[in-house]
Amino acid sequence: MRRLMAHRLFWPVAMLAVLLLINLIAFPGFFSVQIRDGHLFGSLIDILRNGSPTLMIAIGMTLVIATRGIDLSVGAICAISGAVACSIILGSSDPGNPGTVAVAVIAAIAISLVLGVWNGFLVSVLGIQPIIATLILMTAGRGVAMLITEGQILTVNSPPFKVLGSGFFAGLPVSVLIAAALFLFAVVLTRRTALGLMIEAVGINPEASRLAGVRSRGLLISVYVFTAFCAAIAGLVLTSNQTAADANNTGLFIELDAILAVVIGGTSLAGGRYSLFGTLIGALVIQTLVTTVYTVGIPPIATMVFKAAVVTAVCLLQSPRTTELIDSWHRRAQLRRTLEASA
Amino acid sequence: MTVLAPAPRPAETPSRLGQVRNWLTNPKYGPVIVTAVLLVGMLVAGAFRYRGFTNPQVIANLFIDNAYLLVLAVGMTFVILTGGIDLSVGAVLAMSTMITASLLQSGWSPGVIIPLVLVLTSFLGLLVGLMIHYFQIQPFIATLAAMFLARGLCYVISNTTISIVDPVFVALAQTRIPILPRLSITPSVIIAIFVVAAAVFVLHYTRLGRTVYAIGGSEQSGVLMGLPVARTKVLVYVISGFCSGLAGVLYSFYTLSGYALTAIGTELDAIAAVVIGGTLLTGGYGFVLGSVLGVLVLGTIQTLITFDGNLTSWWTRIFIGALLLVFIILQKVLTARRV
């Protein structure tokens, strides 16, 4: 039991289980998944679908945080990528053409990659603290998105674009499949090659890894580019789901949710060891929490209070100080038992 | 830095130019001087380009419109000087306006509400400080949790706008105090200036201020010197909480209403003002008066864009982002030269 509790995914998984249990008690049909029109329907599918944009960003964020960085600009990148795609689709003569949509998606991703290079440049070449370097784009990015949409909410009516956010493929929502593909890509890339090791090395000790011959500059830039790529796709999914690009509200606070997912998943903000599976669990915890608030019948506006409670609880549980306190309490109890046994 | 004059010959006594150069390249004074020059430049440019910009009331309005941001920036300066950061200030400000508005609606007296709000927000700051110091949670995450909590509580109180009709608040909102002919300020400005003066006194003439700078310089050295590091580190978050609460009260004077979605992103404005004002984000260097200049620069950008009429309001955010970039790179260059 103690070894199980010491596993770093124990608390996140326990929290997810508790949340699911609360749902099951409040709403017995919670786990039922039905097939309607060849698609899967049910609360669990909804959790997966609504949580997929956060998960996509959290995947990139995990790698950034593993290098001792952070990326605050992902929400702004979401807004920019959605704005670019929608303005291209609106500007074309044939918005329903899959070719137009492909051009729009590629353009949105390309621009986001440039923004990722910018973040990486500030962090690795100029050596600015990541939180501040990405704060610049977080502040200016929404202004840029407003500039692209000219302050309007761009509503698009394009069936191929709509598939990204609300379509189904093989019975599953397309957004879930995209998130799964990104997740597998990141896992295979970082765990089947030496890349993950190098990311951890840079996060644990940048100087030592430099002396060991890790080219941290290129590595850092590519990590920020990958996060921007994830953010761009999440932005496209969000925009497609709402069928509109809203420069002010697309991806608002998503950077905080993504960071939260990473932290709940047990990756330390101090860099180094990371767990993509933890992040997956973290993203599911956040989305399940939101769903729980709805099913239990608490006013949805109180969700943020619960998020605050979860962050605080998880952080306190993972704090080294708490482990110390629990350990010393444990030792004392053991000592008492031995004393009682010998007496 | 290409703008700097070539180095004077070592044999000569430091010339006036050398002295200026020393001031400019000092991480302590350099950014503040650049900000001051920038502010004056922006005001002069505005006076040349736009009619009516030379009216002294324009300057007074900078203070009137940004009184709450001045108070927020003062609290943020304390936190950033210790090397921390406080993301919760905008949400706490909103919470403070919500509590004020809803208690006024249920008939409490302003004399009770204002102290109560200040105590509550200081207490929230205390909790955040304890989490950061004793549980070693990064300031970023701890204040993020506080931000969620405060914003959530806003919604719990009410998700519609509550207008304030209390005579005391209305009087405080509408009073104009003439300081010169055709020039007037609001009571909020006086409160904000008082807060700034108090902060300058605390940071430069008390032991607490010394300790704040010492923690920013090196926390470990502070501990070894026997400074009350734990107490001070917690206290800066209490100060920031108090300032956010007070800023909320000033904001409710300004808008005469409470609304849960108010002041989203204000924490970024406060951080930007502090950075533009020359406080180093790693802590240890910076002045409250620099943050005041930072707030005025942000306010001037807004005013210039309003006067221009051709530029749309989203340019404000892009300009602020660009300025942030310039000042962060400046800080980087200045500290790199020192080391």
- Return d(Cα B176, Cα B118) in angstroms, integer: 25
Query: Is residue A17 domain-resident?
Result: no
DSSP state of B135: S
**R_g (Cα) of chain A, nearest Å:** 22
Minimal C-alpha gap between A125 and chain B (Å): 12
Q: Could you say which residues from 146 to 205 on chain B have a Cβ atom under 8 Å away from some Cβ of chain A? A: 146-149, 151-153, 155-156, 159
pLDDT band at B97 (very low <50, low <70, confident <90, very high): very high
Q: Cβ-count burial of B181 within 10 angstroms (0-12 exposed, 13-18 middle, 19+ buried)? A: exposed
**Interchain contact, B315 vs A136, CB within 8 Å:** no
Tokens 């709402």 belong to which residue? A242
Instruction: Give the pLDDT confidence score for residue A29 in this predicted structure.
Output: 76
Q: Are B131 and B292 in contact (CB under 8 A)?
A: no
Q: Is the torsion defined by CA of A87, A89, A94, A100 positive or negative?
A: positive
Please report, as a single letter, which amino acid is at residue A127. Answer: G
Crossing angle of helices A276-296 and A174-191, in 10° steps, is 150
Instruction: Give the pLDDT confidence score for residue A2 in this predicted structure.
Output: 61
B58 touches chain A (CB under 8 A): no
Non-local CB neighbours of B219 within 8 Å, separated by 6+ positions: B83, B229, B233
B142 touches chain A (CB under 8 A): yes
Non-local CB neighbours of B83 within 8 Å, separated by 6+ positions: B215, B216, B219, B282, B283, B284
Instruction: Give the pLDDT confidence score for residue A5 in this predicted structure.
Output: 63
Q: Are A220 and A202 in contact (CB under 8 A)?
A: yes
B280 touches chain A (CB under 8 A): no
- Return d(Cα A176, Cα A173) in angstroms, integer: 5
**Interchain contact, A129 vs B138, CB within 8 Å:** no
Instruction: Give the pLDDT confidence score for residue B11 in this predicted structure.
Output: 47
Count the neighbouring beta carbons within 10 Å of the beta carbon of residue B293.
Answer: 24
Q: Is the pLDDT of residue B272 over 80?
A: yes
Q: Which pTM was predicted?
A: 0.84
Annotate A6-37 with three-state secondary structure.
Answer: HCCCHHHHHHHHHHHHHHHHHCHHHHCCEEEC
* CA distances for A48 relative to A16, A177, B112, B263, angstroms: 13, 10, 48, 32
Q: Is the pLDDT of residue B92 over 90?
A: yes
Query: Is residue A308 domain-resident?
Result: no
**Interchain contact, B144 vs A311, CB within 8 Å:** yes
Number of domains in chain A: 1
Query: Is residue A208 domain-resident?
Result: yes
Percent of chain B's residues with pLDDT above 90: 27
Query: What is the tens place of the pLDDT at every residue in B306-327?
Result: 887 777 777 888 888 888 888 8
Query: Is residue A62 domain-resident?
Result: yes
pLDDT along chain A (343 residues), means of 10: 67 85 81 77 85 94 92 93 92 83 93 95 88 85 88 85 83 90 93 87 86 86 95 94 84 85 84 88 90 76 79 77 80 87 79
* Average of per-residue pLDDT across B297-308: 86
DSSP state of B281: T
* CA distances for B156 relative to A154, B74, B95, B229, B260, angstroms: 32, 29, 10, 36, 9
B137 touches chain A (CB under 8 A): yes
Question: Cβ contacts (< 8 Å) between A127 and chain B: which residues?
Answer: 332
Query: Is residue A321 domain-resident?
Result: no
Instruction: Give the pLDDT confidence score for residue B14 in this predicted structure.
Output: 56
Q: Are A150 and A14 in contact (CB under 8 A)?
A: no
Instruction: Give the pLDDT confidence score for residue B8 in this predicted structure.
Output: 47
Query: Is residue A273 domain-resident?
Result: yes
Residue of B nearest to A299 (CA): B156
**Interchain contact, A321 vs B328, CB within 8 Å:** no
Instruction: Give the pLDDT confidence score for residue B339 in this predicted structure.
Output: 45
DSSP state of B257: E
Q: Is the pLDDT of residue B6 over 80?
A: no
**Interchain contact, B137 vs A319, CB within 8 Å:** yes
**Interchain contact, B321 vs A141, CB within 8 Å:** yes
Which CATH number belongs to the domain containing residue A249 in this structure? 1.10.3470
Residue spans of beta strands (DSSP E) within chain B:
162-163, 177-180, 183-185, 257-258
Q: Are A56 and A186 in contact (CB under 8 A)?
A: no
Annotate chain A with three-state secondary structure.
Answer: CHHHHHCCCHHHHHHHHHHHHHHHHHCHHHHCCEEECCEEECHHHHHHHHHHHHHHHHHHHHHHHHCCCCCCCHHHHHHHHHHHHHHHHHHCCCCCCHHHHHHHHHHHHHHHHHHHHHHHHHHHHCCCCHHHHHHHHHHHHHHHHHHHHCCCCEECCCHHHHHHHHCEECCEEHHHHHHHHHHHHHHHHHHCCCHHHHHHHHHHCHHHHHHCCCCHHHHHHHHHHHHHHHHHHHHHHHHHHHCEECCCCCCCCHHHHHHHHHHHCCCCCCCCCCCHHHHHHHHHHHHHHHHHHHHHCCCHHHHHHHHHHHHHHHHHHHCHHHHHHHHHHHHHHHHHHHHHHHC
Non-local CB neighbours of B180 within 8 Å, separated by 6+ positions: B56
Q: Is the pLDDT of residue B12 over 60?
A: no
Question: Cβ contacts (< 8 Å) between B137 and chain A: which residues?
Answer: 315-316, 319
Question: Cβ contacts (< 8 Å) between B316 and chain A: which residues?
Answer: 143
Query: What is the tens place of the pLDDT at every residue in B194-239?
Result: 999 999 999 999 999 999 999 988 888 888 888 888 899 999 999 9
Residue of B nearest to A127 (CA): B332
Q: How many residues does chain B have?
A: 339
Q: Are A282 and A260 in contact (CB under 8 A)?
A: yes
**Interchain contact, B268 vs A135, CB within 8 Å:** yes
Q: What is the mean pLDDT of chain B?
A: 84
Percent of chain B's residues with pLDDT above 70: 92
Q: Is the pLDDT of residue B17 over 80?
A: no
* Average of per-residue pLDDT across B49-61: 82
Give A244's strand partners: A155
* Average of per-residue pLDDT across B179-193: 85
Instruction: Give the pLDDT confidence score for residue B134 in this predicted structure.
Output: 86
φ/ψ of residue A168, rounded to 5: -125, 145
Residues spanned by the domain of A115? 40-286
**Interchain contact, B131 vs A308, CB within 8 Å:** no
Query: Is residue A299 domain-resident?
Result: no
Query: Is residue A104 domain-resident?
Result: yes
Q: Are A69 and A130 in contact (CB under 8 A)?
A: yes
- Return d(Cα B30, Cα B48) in angstroms, integer: 27
Give the tokens for residue B78: 């304390």
Q: Cβ-count burial of A11 within 10 angstroms (0-12 exposed, 13-18 middle, 19+ buried)? A: buried
Instruction: Give the pLDDT confidence score for residue A4 in this predicted structure.
Output: 65
